[in-house]
Every structure is written in C-alpha cells, then in structure tokens.
Amino acid sequence: MTVMYQVDAFSDRIFGGNPAAVLVLDDWLAEETMQSIAAENNLAETAFARPNGRGWDLRWFTPVHEVEFCGHATLATAHVLAAHHEVIGEMAFSTRVGELRVARADGGYRMDLPSFPPEPLPDLPAPIAELFADIDHRAFRNFENIFVELPDEAAVRAFIPDLTRIATLKLQGLVITGKGDGYDFVSRYFAPGVGIPEDPVTGSIHATLVPHWASKLGKTHLSAFQASARGGHLLCELSGDRVLITGKAVTFMKAEIHLP
C-alpha cells in the first residue's frame, strides 16, 4: 500500500494556498513512476521524501518534469511528517539546492532556505519583452526564473499573462512583483512550460524576492503576498545567506494509491 497526502500549503484552511501532494517512502520509486504520479495528480508539485539516516531526501515533480527547487511542497512535506508521522523537532531535507530546514513556529512552520540573490538581466528575451513594452519595469533573474518588477501592486494584479509567450522561456518561469499596499511586496508566478499556468503560492521564488526587496526597502523582516486567485501570505526574513519563510499548512486528503 502506498499512502499519499494532499496538503494546502501557505494556508490555515482547506481550499486556500497552494496544494501539493506528498508521499513518504522507504526508498525511491522508479523515476518514471514518480513522474507518472505527479502527472496523474496534475498539481503544481508532488513531493517524494525518504529517510537518509540524518533527516530526509526530498524531490519534487511537476506534471511534466522534476524541478530543482520547490518551497510550498517542502512546507507540505514537513506538515505531513509532523502531523501524520509524529516527527518532532527540526526537519532537515537534502535536495538539489542544498539542505532545507523546517521547524514548527508561530502556529505554523518556518522554512530555512538558501538565499539566491537577484542577478542582473539587462534585456528580457524578445517574446517576453513585448509583454512589458508599455509598462515601466526592471528585470533580474536567478538560476531558474526571470523576474520583472512592476511599478506597484495594482500593476501586478492587473497583468494579463500571455502563456504562449511565457512558455517559450528556456528558464522555468516568469515572476512579476511590485511594492505592496498592505504588504511589503506582492508577486505572481507563471510557468506554463512546466505545466503550471499560474502557481497559487510559490515558496522558492521568495529565496530571490526576499533579498531583492530587503535591499530595496532597507529591512530584513518582510510581509509578502502572492496575488493569485487562491492567494497566500508569507512572513519572510533575510538572515545572512538564508531566507526564512513562515507559513501554515492543512491536510486536505489522505489517500491510498494503487501502483502497477
């Protein structure tokens, strides 16, 4: 029997935040099987965790491929381990981007992630540049995404994505961000090329958004909101070369899946 959980991450209620599937395994399934499970789920990410003697190995799959870095499914995995596997104390996850640590905090969970400061991007790729031709903007990047800062929260919320153009990116996706009204900053994230038209709440992009806005606003404690249809609130802190993100998570479903 293989048990799978579905968790709404960055939310204190079901039907909020970003749903992720989580499977805690004794060892990895065949890679094609894990990819097929993720495709069957058709969620932004399905996480697979296994014990490694020091903590946990963790991998994430979108409906179409394995990804380097995912925050909300890390939060969902920590919730499953704490709430359903009686794991106590800080949890350490070995991943492709290094060690991620998660501990209970403030009625939720605090993720300790590596910081990926923004890298200069003098020019947007041609298909994407046309989306911002009439909007004042500033572009930067990290190892997997392009970021575009817009004038304000209203511009972020009003942005209408051309998913066909965005899908031409060789990088994983496009992040737009702006100074918030009730929050320090807001963002949205589009990755149609990997099966995610618009991600509801994305922890990983904040590993770059937090150092960007910390520098711009001159503060290390930041309140962020991802302005998708489901939406999500993230409490963030820049701590040296780490980004701390606090959020809640709730279990929506526990299921038994049948594998061939």
CA–CA gap between residue 45 and residue 70 (Å, rounded): 8
pLDDT for 17 equals: 93
Q: Write down the pTM of the prediction.
A: 0.92
Q: What is the pLDDT of residues 22-31, one digit of tens each?
A: 999 999 999 9
pLDDT for 24 equals: 98
pLDDT for 245 equals: 97
CA–CA gap between residue 26 and residue 48 (Å, rounded): 10
Predicted confidence (pLDDT) at residue 197 exceeds the cutoff of 80: yes
Q: Could you give the angle at the alpha carbon of 246 between the alpha carbons of 149 and 92, nearest 5°?
A: 110
Same domain assignment for residues 252 and 210: no
Q: What is the pLDDT of residues 164-193, one digit of tens each?
A: 999 998 667 999 999 999 999 999 999 998
Domain range for 58 = 2-114+246-257
Q: Could you give the angle at the alpha carbon of 75 between the alpha carbons of 70 and 81, nearest 5°?
A: 125
CA–CA gap between residue 27 and residue 36 (Å, rounded): 17
pLDDT band at 195 (very low <50, low <70, confident <90, very high): confident
237 is catalytic: no
pLDDT for 194 equals: 86
Same domain assignment for residues 75 and 130: no
Predicted confidence (pLDDT) at residue 137 exceeds the cutoff of 80: yes
Same domain assignment for residues 102 and 125: no
pLDDT for 139 equals: 96
Same domain assignment for residues 159 and 216: yes
- The count of domains in the chain is 2
Percentage of the chain modeled with pLDDT above 70 = 99
Same domain assignment for residues 173 and 204: yes
CA–CA gap between residue 125 and residue 27 (Å, rounded): 41
Q: What is the pLDDT of residues 105-127, one digit of tens each?
A: 988 999 999 999 999 998 999 88
Q: What is the pLDDT of residues 210-236, one digit of tens each?
A: 999 999 999 999 999 999 999 989 999
Same domain assignment for residues 132 and 63: no
pLDDT band at 260 (very low <50, low <70, confident <90, very high): confident
Name the residue with tokens 């919320």: 157
Mean pLDDT of 150-169: 95
Same domain assignment for residues 18 and 42: yes
pLDDT for 170 equals: 67
Contact between 249 and 208 under an 8 Å Cβ cutoff? The reply is no
Mean pLDDT of 240-244: 97
Which of the residues 31, 45, 68, 130 is marked catalytic? 45
Q: Which residues pair with 49 in a beta bridge?
A: 24, 58
Same domain assignment for residues 10 and 42: yes
Structure-token pair, residue 236? 């963030």
Same domain assignment for residues 67 and 125: no
Q: What is the pLDDT of residues 66-114, one digit of tens each?
A: 999 999 999 999 999 999 999 999 999 999 999 999 999 988 999 999 9
**What CATH number does the domain containing 33 carry?**
3.10.310.10
Same domain assignment for residues 88 and 130: no
Contact between 185 and 175 under an 8 Å Cβ cutoff? The reply is no
Same domain assignment for residues 105 and 128: no
